[in-house]
Structure 1
């Protein structure tokens, strides 16, 4: 497939850009199709509500991850091009770097740096791999995610609310350090104040509890009545046995029981029913790193019961979708 109006820069075929005043590379569809072997299944890294992610290799030899966005998005081309330009300016060690984008008809694609260890869910939820994540490594991952979110909420050029926080959107580098993958870019929505940074805090708690336990939140714990991971964590907390939540595959977890208990406590604080009661990400980081300061006692969380309903071939969790089922990123100027 040939692309008109292209030029070569650094060995990669890119398209002419009418507004070159940015660092974002506008890749040609030819270079993306070639890099991913026409989006072959063997190069597929993952998928979500935003679309599919593929591994690619550019002509210069650089490995990348290409996110092919869902055609269901009603975002216009101008909006699509403007927001990646802003995201490309974000620089933090716990964020996946956006290299460029590609627009071809209705097809919209984002090109990211490639992370060799894929996403966190490949480790946390895999029986054979999660034993590789000792508690020290898990804590580094938890703190890194929190630092990345704090940057998005407070220290980046534009205030960003991720809205799709989950272990599948946390990519791991060669040293298993966490990097947050941006959700599907979309135009900002006011939503009458429904979404805020506290929405991301709510999503952070799911990842924290999943990392501690090695369990997926939406898998029911077979009790009477059946509850999800959040409900199970709250049940154990009330019974005074929260450490039973620990992943049994971790080596010597009891050597770190105080730190693990602190993380479970923070996770339950992040799911307070009222957003105003949830800590900010700066407060979360302070709680994670200050082992002396006592933590507040968590209140009854919301969304502890799971009732799944079928919609076609998909399964949804209407009571658990507050922060994890929305796949758009909201940005507002500082």
Structure 2
């Protein structure tokens, strides 16, 4: 029903407006008697065989929702009824920020992709915490954290620490988002020396809590072999808990969308089908070269059960969807879980 009826209508309108409309629709429908049960009956598979033990956490199933969809943690309880095993909120920054000027979200329908240059738009730390206090404990919540756009380079770590310390009681794991192409001073965030400083500071903060939370690093799909080797070295040096591979791409090669249209759209991170193979190659390289030394969450171009299985076979322990969720609809999660059971 989604692809035949709903998607053609939704895709007639501005992607960002549709995003907020869909949020309101899901929230309001979930308040009506019987709709939560209906969603669960349609989309949720409860089966112990789907459970995954990772980072000391028990995931109901290995299919999660990637960061960027529920930035401000406003819909995770309702989204749990679509069958996800975990949901990652954010990217959260210390202060609320508007992000980049609109229009900043674009569909590439022929490619089943999306280009975004949102720029970490979110309502800030205090809003996320208020929302997370309403957590009904339905599933694991990850906290994806970043820096404010206006933060000076010498204060980047301070921003990450502020988010980490404040969100610590409310999320189950953390993701250091250092690979988004839509924020300023991208270069420093990918410098190995700086990453060692950042990770060390966050790990030190983690040890101050009675219960430590897993910390993961989200990396770009555009890294070359030398850069991926540096990531493997970094993981060994810091004993970080895992990697999310991968973020959006700045590569535009091989797209069906015309050059003219791409020039009209301009810069931004590409997600969806076009980055599927690139993301899977990064997963495979990290898993093979490190001899599976650390857990990997695979994300990028998961639009079918086969795509998810491909990532898992390449070395991913869990998978996340985002663009695939928009193009294929909520039945995608059930399809993946059913394929895993087979």
TM-score (norm 2): 0.29
Query: By percentage of residues, which structure has more helix?
Result: 2
TM-score (norm 1): 0.30
For the pair shown, the structure with the greater C-alpha radius of gyration is: 1
